[in-house]
Amino acid sequence: MTANLLDFDLEGLAAFCEKLGEKRFRAVQLFRWIHQKGASGFDEMTDLARSLREKLPSVCAITGLPVLSRQDSADGTIKWLFDVGDGNAVETVFIPEDDRGTLCISSQAGCAVGCRFCSTGHQGFSRNLTTGEILAQLWHAERFLRKHLGKTERVITNVVMMGMGEPLQNYGALIPALRVMLDDHGYGLSRRRVTVSTSGVVPMIDRLAQDCPVALAVSLHAPNDALRDVLVPLNRKYPIAELLDACLRYLPAAPRDFITFEYCMLDGVNDQPEHARQLLALLKGHGGRGVPCKINLIPFNPFPDSGLKCSPRSVVLHFGKILNDGGIVTTVRKTRGDDIDAACGQLAGDVLDRTNAASRLSQRRQQTEQPIRFVHTAKEKQA
Ligand code: SF4
């Protein structure tokens, strides 16, 4: 079978070249052509020996993902839908800002975690992406953007593994992909500029600290286990205290001296002042000394059948003020690309679900009614 060179980190490519009787420096040359210069064929690799250039097409290829569609937002955000075969498609989003260009990458076709507020979670799960499919999103986007913007230098400065999927449930493919992003012969991104976002796969957070520590973002979304059990079902397996312990263990290896906690603001569900005070007490007090952190409040981006609403802006700001006043730096995420459904939590390619997500969803919606009613009752009492 023809190997896809996007599947290899530098060590993997060196091993592949060795089998062909080629020295390591040839692997470095190939790697730089693919990831630094965006080459898609061997003919353009002019510094490779002609004999090698002629040999390579019979044993390997540089195979990107077919693009099903591209959408450009009025605010400059770009979303691609990539075909990953068998009726599955995944989404990738580029978010330009004045001082950076961030690419949000998918790690799975669908997601098995099934968070209550997430469009991908509602679609169920089909399969893990390969290393090559994860990297193909970056490889394609960088090539496209350089051409589109007429640039020769790198356009993508930051990568966030926050697209479709739980990256730490696809660990084996994730780690080589991260290594290519960080490799000076690859994309050369600093560890601080590559972020893995997780819903809290505790054992894999520990492994990430050992294998490839990059910036860590944790999808928290609730200040107590009762509510988080409903919003992020993985919490039943790894409750908040275990998750925060893992965060504390991660910090010594992390490139930043804090963990980012993501908190999606859901109207009447997790957005009350009492929730903010609980969150403050939890994060300031855990383990006796608290967890060094920042909090990112994400206004919920509604999608069909979610049954949830975004908290009013005034509620989001008040929630953030309680946290900031309490000593935790808290920001509100700017919504980008909402005219093309590219905002956080809205990514939903096409997923051939293998997980019976629809019936799990309806069960979970019934469970979610409880906290929603509870909070509304409390609000009514205050009124
Ligand atoms: S928020 Fe992340 S972990 Fe949760 S369902 Fe969506 S993609 Fe999966």
pLDDT, tens digit, 9 for 90 and up, residues 304-318:
778 899 999 999 999
Q: How far apart are CA 260 and CA 253, in angstroms?
A: 15
Q: Report the range of poorest mean pLDDT among 10-14, 244-248, 341-345.
A: 341-345
pLDDT tier at 364, thresholds 50, 70, 90: low
pLDDT over 90 percentage in the chain: 82
CA triplet 276, 246, 90: central angle to 5 degrees? 80
Tell me if 165 CB under 6 Å of ligand 1.
yes
Residue 87: count of CB within 10 angstroms of its CB: 11
Distances (CA, A) of 343 to 4, 209, 320, 356: 31, 29, 20, 25
pLDDT for 375: 37
Question: Which mutation among 90, 166, 351 tests ligand 1's pocket best, with the greatest number of atoms within 8 A of CB?
Answer: 166
Domains within the chain, CATH numbers bracketed = 3-61 (1.10.150.530), 67-382 (3.20.20.70)
| pLDDT mean over 146-160 | 94
317-340 tens-digit pLDDT: 999 999 999 999 999 988 777 777
Return the higher-pLDDT residue of 324 and 152. 324
69-100 tens-digit pLDDT: 999 999 999 999 999 999 999 999 999 999 99
Tell me if 197 CB under 6 Å of ligand 1.
no
Q: How far apart are CA 20 and CA 308, in angstroms?
A: 56
36 CA from centroid of ligand 1 (Å): 31
Q: Is the pLDDT assigned to residue 219 strictly greater than 70?
A: yes
pLDDT for 383: 28
pLDDT for 120: 86
184 CA from centroid of ligand 1 (Å): 30
Crossing angle (nearest 10°) for helices 240-250 and 273-285: 50
Distances (CA, A) of 29 to 5, 49, 52, 101, 226: 13, 11, 12, 26, 53
Please name which of 109, 128, 113 lies closest in space to residue 68, comparing C-alpha atoms.
109
97-150 tens-digit pLDDT: 999 999 999 999 999 999 999 988 888 899 999 999 999 999 999 999 999 999
Specify whether 91 is catalytic. Answer: yes
Question: Which mutation among 199, 261, 351, 353 tests ligand 1's pocket best, with the greatest number of atoms within 8 A of CB?
Answer: 199
Q: Is the pLDDT assigned to residue 214 strictly greater than 80?
A: yes
Residue list for the binding site for S-adenosyl-L-methionine: 165-166, 197, 219-221, 301
pLDDT tier at 303, thresholds 50, 70, 90: confident
